[in-house]
Amino acid sequence: MPKHVVVVFQASSNSLRFDESEYGAIIGTLVYNETKCNFLRHSTFDPTCTTSSLTDLINAPSELGNLHTYQPPSLDYHGQQQFLEYSTSKLWILCDYVLNVEFAKTLTFFQRLSFNDKLLLLKNAALVNCSLVQSYYSYVNKSNTVVPLPVEVMMRCRGVESLIRSKIDKCEYVLLKAMVFTHYPSEGMSVEGRTLYTNARYGATAGSCRFATLVALVGTFFQLADKHRQFHTLLTLTWNLSNHPSKLFHEIHA
């Protein structure tokens, strides 16, 4: 893997304006890490049965360094996605949650947090980014609903519509993902964790000419995450999801 990566993008008239030397490097790093997450999302990477808990995931080496071990899925694999069976189908909410944790692990301020602060932050913010990720890729594909799970369309379409109205580009999207991890209320964190968290919050958003728009979007996706947890509780009662084999699946919605 090359030591230096140059990310080139075309800025639209309403794009964020960054100091070329500092903020350009920040956005370049975020885009690069998001590109790796997106590769894993569309590859044979499937954490459904391999990730036992959030603690294990935090302590494990990053999967972003193992891209060479995964490939684009075969046509047979795509065909299996028509059947919602745990043995053959990738569970997208779990996959996106794991990849959002991997994304968080690349953030400098996150790496400096204590383990307990990392755990608290991820329990409350990673699911928020799941809604953002699924809404963004539906938006990119010019869909106004989240696919492929129809049961989640009514709950998630608000997120897609918010992105359509805001017309965010990829650079703003990756910044928004980082902002989600720095806008969770820091109550419960250690004193050191709150200090790191506050510095990261204001450092990550400095220089943004669309700051108010992005902050409003952060609030939208936190609300959607709360609705997702409520919806999961309802499904647990209706479909007996308590028997799902993944411990992480239940931690996501706790």
Instruction: Give the other-Cβ count within 10 Å of 4's Cβ.
Output: 4
Q: Which residue has the tokens 């590859």?
A: 43
Residues of the chain scoring pLDDT < 70 = 1-23, 49-51, 73-89, 144-157, 184-191, 193-212, 228-247, 249-250, 252-254
Write the DSSP symbol of residue 63. Answer: G
Identify the pLDDT of residue 126: 84
Give the model confidence (pLDDT) of 108-141 as tens digits. Answer: 889 999 999 999 899 888 888 888 888 888 888 8
Q: Alpha-carbon distance 206 to 177, whole Å?
A: 15
CATH number of the structural domain 23-252? 1.10.565.10
What are the domain boundaries of the chain? 23-252
Identify the pLDDT of residue 194: 64
CA distances to 106, 137, 236, 244 from 62, in Å: 9, 23, 31, 25
Q: Alpha-carbon distance 84 to 82, whole Å?
A: 6
Phi/psi of residue 14, nearest 5 degrees: -105, 15
What are the residue ranges of helices labelled H in the chain? 23-41, 54-59, 75-80, 92-104, 108-111, 115-140, 153-166, 170-180, 191-205, 211-239, 247-252
User: What's this model's pTM, rounded to 2 decimal places?
Assistant: 0.72
Q: Which residue has the tokens 């947890």?
A: 229
Identify the pLDDT of residue 202: 57
Identify the pLDDT of residue 101: 94
